[in-house]
């Protein structure tokens, strides 16, 4: 376990982020291998079927993943305050909440699969494959929920390396199973879904074994599962806003996906392939953001307010520089990268993907700022503002789907992401500036021995 409250902030942040980044990239292999193997072995229509379900998965599974990320914030705050009893209680409460939410989401989502696909205007030539793939992914969602919860809890204690190794192993298993199920067993698109779920289940089991063998601070018993209203409420106060934030963003993505589906299979296929490149390129930006949530939470629990401000400022420069480099790579070589998924003969799909990269890659700096500000605020326990920022993203994506697509066609659909990032930053920036001012005020008060007990910032969660 790593204590992020001592030592050079930038160095700690950098080395914490590197395993997280590699892990996130390997996590993308779950969907990346789906796209690559499905596109090359089953064709463009099957690729479009997988891609057309992405926003629905983001809505439903993303809700639970946002919840688990929020729950781990309190674990990190307890750890930073050296409240190890609180760490165990937080872990137990997080398990119960995640299990209940996962079961409810599984049942509801499977009931309404067909209705969702119809509402999204899924093209008729891919709707059967889309239904098959989506039913498997939603039916097995407890596996990714469990893995995300355990990974987030381990990272909350400052260990970003261990989940990396589990992801590497499970990603390789995912690729092997996918090739076996599709090429060996001829299961078609269902094989891609089952391979992903089984690989994530294996990753979950590895986390459980590791916690039992190596992380005594997370060893919990029956007494830790005695729920107390105030403790459960504190966890829900942080977890639910982050969950709803993910869902609000996803609703906008679904509206946009419906508009994209109306543009035809080529547009869906081009976006599906281009987004896989985009997801890999933005992993460093996302990883720096996730790091800042843990960094801010631990240091807030330890009353190290100046370290939070300093660490955020340094990380913004680092993440911003990378965002510019990643955007240039996509704009220059994006078409060649997409060719790996759909081949180099389908020029219609390749040209559309280049349009996607030109619009998205040139605006990554906004996304970089968004991740840092949003996760820092969440690490401080300020979950309401990021939720409002998610609502702004929803509004901008709906605007793009209803207006920009009609005006500019596919280019208008691509503009939805930069518009969403801009709307979110417009909400986050004032709140972030206010939080920095309060942190500096608290730091000055600490320096003059004016603060004797843990302060409570506006909308933060008490430990």
Residue 29 is predicted with a pLDDT of 62
- Whose tokens are 């004797």? That residue is 452
pLDDT for residue 178? 87
User: Which of 49, 44, 197 is closest to 129 using CA atoms?
Assistant: 49
- Please count the other Cβ atoms lying within 10 Å of the Cβ belonging to residue 183: 12
- Contacts of residue 407, defined as CB under 8 A and 6 or more positions apart, other chains included, come to none
Return d(Cα 25, Cα 32) in angstroms, integer. Answer: 10
CA atoms of 338 and 172, how far apart (whole Å): 22
User: Residue 156: which of 96, 214, 206, 90 has the closest Cα?
Assistant: 90
Confirm if 51 and 272 have CB atoms less than 8 A apart: yes
Cα distances from 101 to residues 57, 109, 151, 152, 179, in angstroms, run 15, 12, 18, 17, 32
Q: Token digits for 380? A: 């401080």
d(CA 222, CA 259): 50
pLDDT at 409: 87
Question: Cα separation of 294 and 291, whole Å?
Answer: 5
**Are the C-beta atoms of residues 113 and 273 closer than 8 Å to each other?**
no
Q: How far apart are CA 65 and CA 94, in angstroms?
A: 12
Q: What is the mean pLDDT of each run of 10 residues along the chain (463 residues)?
A: 81 87 70 70 79 77 84 90 92 95 92 86 85 93 93 90 86 88 90 90 95 94 88 89 79 75 80 81 88 91 89 93 92 83 73 88 92 92 86 88 88 89 94 93 76 45 39
Distance CA 318, CA 10 (A): 9
**Confidence (pLDDT) at 309:** 92
What pLDDT is stored for residue 218 in this prediction?
95
* H or E element in which residue 349 lies: helix 347-361
Contact 193, 132 (CB under 8 A): yes
């Amino acid at each position: 376990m790593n204590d992020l409250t001592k030592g050079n902030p930038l160095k700690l942040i950098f080395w914490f982020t590197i395993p997280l980044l590699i892990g996130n990239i390997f996590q993308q292999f779950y969907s990346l291998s789906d796209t690559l193997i499905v596109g090359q072995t089953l064709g463009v229509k099957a690729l479009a079927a997988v891609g057309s379900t992405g926003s629905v998965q983001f809505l439903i599974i993303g809700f639970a993943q946002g919840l688990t990320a929020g729950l781990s914030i309190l674990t990190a705050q307890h750890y930073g305050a050296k409240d190890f009893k609180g760490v165990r209680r937080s872990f137990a409460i997080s398990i119960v909440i995640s299990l209940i939410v996962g079961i409810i989401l599984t049942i509801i989502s499977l009931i309404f699969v067909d209705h969702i696909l119809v509402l999204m205007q899924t093209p008729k030539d891919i709707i059967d494959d889309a239904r098959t793939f989506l039913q498997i992914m939603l039916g097995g969602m407890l596996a990714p929920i469990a893995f995300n919860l355990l990974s987030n809890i381990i990272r909350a204690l400052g260990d970003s390396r261990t989940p990396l190794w589990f992801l590497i192993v499970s990603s390789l298993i995912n690729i092997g199973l996918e090739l076996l199920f599709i090429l060996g067993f001829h299961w078609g698109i269902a094989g891609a879904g089952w391979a992903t779920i089984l690989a994530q289940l294996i990753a979950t089991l590895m986390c459980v074994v590791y916690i039992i063998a190596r992380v005594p601070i997370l060893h919990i018993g029956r007494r830790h599962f005695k729920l107390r209203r105030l403790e459960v409420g504190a966890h829900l106060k942080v977890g639910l806003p982050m969950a709803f934030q993910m869902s609000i963003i996803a609703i906008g993505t679904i509206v946009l996906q419906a508009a994209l589906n109306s543009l035809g299979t080529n547009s869906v296929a081009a976006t599906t392939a281009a987004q896989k490149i985009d997801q890999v390129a933005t992993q460093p930006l996302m990883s720096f953001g996730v790091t800042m949530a843990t960094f801010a939470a631990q240091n807030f629990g330890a009353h190290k307010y100046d370290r939070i401000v300093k660490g955020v400022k340094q990380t913004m420069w680092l993440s911003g520089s990378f965002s510019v480099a990643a955007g240039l790579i996509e704009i220059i070589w994006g078409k060649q990268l997409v060719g790996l998924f759909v081949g180099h003969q389908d020029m219609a799909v390749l040209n559309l993907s280049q349009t996607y990269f030109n619009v998205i890659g040139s605006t990554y700096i906004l996304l970089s700022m968004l991740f840092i500000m949003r996760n820092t605020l969440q690490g401080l326990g300020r979950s309401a503002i990021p939720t409002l920022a998610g609502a702004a993203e929803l509004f901008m994506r709906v605007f793009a789907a209803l207006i920009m697509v009609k005006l500019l066609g596919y280019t208008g659909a691509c503009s939805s992401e930069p518009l969403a990032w801009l709307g979110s930053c417009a909400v986050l920036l004032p709140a972030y500036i206010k939080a920095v001012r309060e942190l500096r005020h608290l730091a000055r008060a600490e320096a003059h021995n004016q603060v004797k007990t843990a302060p409570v910032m506006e909308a933060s969660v008490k430990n």
